[in-house]
Amino acid sequence: MRFGILSTAHIALDAFVPGVARTEHEVAAIASRDAERAADAAAAHDIPASYGSYEALLDADVDAVYNPLPNGLHAEWTTRAADAGLPVLCEKPLTRDAGEARDVVEHCADRGVTLMEAFMYRYHPRTERVRSLLSDMGDVVAAEASFGFPLRGDPEDVRLQPGLAGGSLMDVGCYPVNALRTFVGEPDAVTATTHDSRDCGVDTRLAGTFEYAGGARATLRCWFDAPEHQRYRIETTDGWVEASPAFNVPADAPAELRYGRDGRTATETFEPVDQYAREAEHFADCVESGMTPRTGGADAVANMRAIDALSEAAATDERVTL
């Protein structure tokens, strides 16, 4: 598969391009609104073609589009790629909200193109091992998930811009939301509080709770203004599972999984895996076979629905049911 990349975002150049290089696929083109920036990125990363507009990339000799644009531009350029007949691997979160996500998913379905949300951690073998372990550990009684880091530097960073759907919940909080949904299930109700430490119009911290019909509770946290930390832990009637770092595992680093069951604890170590490479391979396989991606449209809509509920709960200081 020949990928075309919309923008020179850091996640594209530092993670996705090296990941694709470890597969049988290739990055064939990259675009930016600044032609010189696109050309510099192409030269630095051995990408054959560069373009000074996103429109030009959609007319280029590519088989699919990777969309790592700011959150607020995901919907527009995903649908425009679909109109060009190109499958889309779109960075998380898929859109600004669940309504927009449903529209994008339906649009891609109408155009007959594959759409996948790029939650790379879902393609690490550790994630599937967690799901397997939990299937034998009884009912979940409690869980927690967190992801945060200190966002320093440019006050004009897109992650601090309300108009581009910034904020810690959208940027890194979407990972704990996805993990809790993946490992525990869809919540029945949520509560949340937020704080804007930069006075920039978006949350720089969020703490939330997922409530489940069976009585289980899950907490999640995300932030831009404290040291980096990423973790999840799930407690069940028969044991527990935890992982840290939970989501952004370097391609050249092993990943650990700790768990306890029947009074015994264990640690499993997974050999280094490039989860971006696994993600690209899964996407290409789905495009070729017509299979629904593991993180396809329905999952993306459900994730945005939970994110919307957290945002509403924080804004109203009320419990929100789903």
Give tens-digit pLDDT for 261-310.
988 999 999 999 999 999 999 999 999 999 999 999 999 999 999 999 99
What pLDDT does residue 226 have? 96
The domain segmentation of the chain, as residue ranges, is: 2-120+279-296, 122-273+303-321
The answer, yes or no, to whether residue 154 has pLDDT greater than 90, is no
The yes-or-no answer to whether 2-120+279-296 and 122-273+303-321 have a common fold is no
**CB-count burial class (<10 Å; 0-12, 13-18, 19+) for 231:** middle
Which tokens belong to 87?
A: 């499958």
Closest alpha carbon to 297 in 36, 115, 40, 160: 115
Percent of the chain with pLDDT over 90: 98
Task: Report pLDDT for 42.
Answer: 98
Residue 216, by phi and psi: left (phi above 0), alpha (psi -120 to 50) or beta? beta
The DSSP symbol for 169 reads I
CA distance 289 to 72: 30
Class assignment of domain 2-120+279-296?
A: alpha beta
Q: Which amino acid is at 130?
A: V
Whole-angstrom distance, CA of residue 65 vs CA of residue 87: 6
* pLDDT of 74: 98
The secondary element (H helix, E strand) that includes residue 143 is strand 140-148
Q: What is the pLDDT of residue 288?
A: 98
Sign of the CA dihedral with 76 first, then 77, 78, and 81 last: positive
Fold observed for domain 122-273+303-321 = Dihydrodipicolinate Reductase; domain 2 (3.30.360)
The pTM assigned to this predicted structure is 0.97
pLDDT at 262: 87
What are the helix (H) ranges across the chain?
A: 10-11, 17-21, 35-44, 54-58, 74-83, 98-111, 125-134, 168, 174-183, 275-289, 297-316
- Are the C-beta atoms of residues 113 and 82 closer than 8 Å to each other? yes
Q: What totals of helices (H) and strands (E) does the chain contain, helices first?
A: 11, 15
Each residue's pLDDT tens digit, 114-143: 999 999 999 999 999 999 999 999 999 999
Angstrom CA distances, 215 to 143, 176, 181, 188, stand at: 12, 20, 15, 10
Instruction: Summarize pLDDT for 21-44 with one digit per residue, the tens.
Output: 999 999 999 999 999 999 999 999
**Which residues are CB-neighbours of 13 under 8 A, at least 6 positions away?**
41, 44, 45
pLDDT at residue 153 tops 90:
no
